[in-house]
Amino acid sequence: MPAPVNRQRIGQINSWLLALLAFSLPLSTSAISVLSLLVLACWFVEGRYRDKLREVIANPVCMAVLFYLALYVVGLLWSENKAAGLAMIGRQWKLLLLPVFMTAGRRQDRRLYAGSFLAGMTVAMLITYLVWFGLLHYADVSPEHLTKGTFHVVYDPMLALAIYLLLHEFIWGVTRGWRRWFVLGLAALMVFDMFITKGRAGQMAFFVLLGLLLFQILRKNIVLACLLTIFVLPATFTAGYLFSPTFHGRVQQARSDIARFHVDPRTSVGLRLLYWKNSWEMIKSAPWFGVGTGDFQDAYAELNKKLSPQVEVTDNPHNQYVLVQCQLGLLGLAALLGIFLLQFRQAFTLRDGWERIRVAFPLFFLTIMLTESYLIVYETGFLFSLVSAILYRLPYRLDSGDKVD
């Protein structure tokens, strides 16, 4: 009897560790690393390896992620720069933790994990407001730039997801009474925060998820959903453009960057356009299997000498699809898209009140990956693994029908 009791206790500990990890996602990369290692250690101590392996094999999303990661290993076979290839594989370790998170967590604690993430986002949001009001001062942060360094690149996408989760809870959740209106008020604060911070990828995701939410609310009246979306999204954009100097400035900067791209591409948007343009030449030269796991930077450097020698070389085209297509060709791109297709599939097959969120999450990632390689970015890589583990864990094993925790 002691062994099962100890395993149950370790499972409870791991569930709390996952909650702390969800809380830490927008706050501390060091905490993310430590908590992930603790989860992994408890996962090993808990045992039940055969049951965990069966669950992983039975889960389509899990297997799709593992197949995608295996292609990076296979891609070493035609990569000339093996050291860079191994380094690229090392950057995927966040995704490799998905099976661990899935079999370490407990389905009955999903609201705990979601609430912990929202609590962490609330703390991060309050920090931006303290900076905005001039009550908090620290390095390279000011009322004009509310997040440290380039943190807005990950903060705003997570903020968009948090807003969707809060609105979902307000409309369909179990929260009632004053707490329900507190949820709506918190969502409103986050929406306002979205327009005073500088993450364009997050702002784009916000509009996409807002449109999805309208369709989910009016799913029985698609015509009305289309009409409302056509009105609400432009109206929200216009309000942000007119009343938020930060949002207005970012939109104007993007327009200016695009207009002067052919004259000087060395701008935020211009560099992305240049990376994609040059990468397209790489894709055309190796469309099926790519240049190999570790050869993107070397291959891009050769192209850069010919096409844009005045611009520095990059090791990241700031687009997940372009990066994967360059490295692993159409095979890799198909494997990447297959992950999200299976997530959509499970969204329509699992009926437990979380199906709308299961649709929103892959749509969210498919959107933000247009402007950055978010699966290799530290915080969002963990976000993908942890949230996927929570949302797409099956309530039963496909081979036996037995329920899982």
Per-residue pLDDT, 119: 98
When pLDDT is averaged across residues 353-374 and rounded to a whole number, the result is 97
Asked if residue 1 has pLDDT above 50, the reply is: no
CA gap 339, 337 in Å, rounded: 5
Asked if residue 282 has pLDDT above 60, the reply is: yes
State the pLDDT confidence band at 401, using cuts at 50, 70 and 90.
very low
State the pLDDT confidence band at 145, using cuts at 50, 70 and 90.
confident
CB 392 within 8 A of CB 343: yes
Read off the pLDDT of residues 283-309 as tens digits, 9 standing for 90 and up.
999 999 999 999 999 999 999 999 999
Per-residue pLDDT, 7: 74
Q: What is the pTM of this model?
A: 0.95
Per-residue pLDDT, 395: 84
Per-residue pLDDT, 405: 56
CB 308 within 8 A of CB 265: yes
Read off the pLDDT of residues 51-110 as tens digits, 9 standing for 90 and up.
999 999 999 999 999 999 999 999 999 999 999 999 999 999 999 999 999 999 898 999
In the chain, % of residues over pLDDT 90: 86
Read off the pLDDT of residues 152-174 as tens digits, 9 standing for 90 and up.
999 999 999 999 999 999 999 98
Asked if residue 5 has pLDDT above 60, the reply is: no
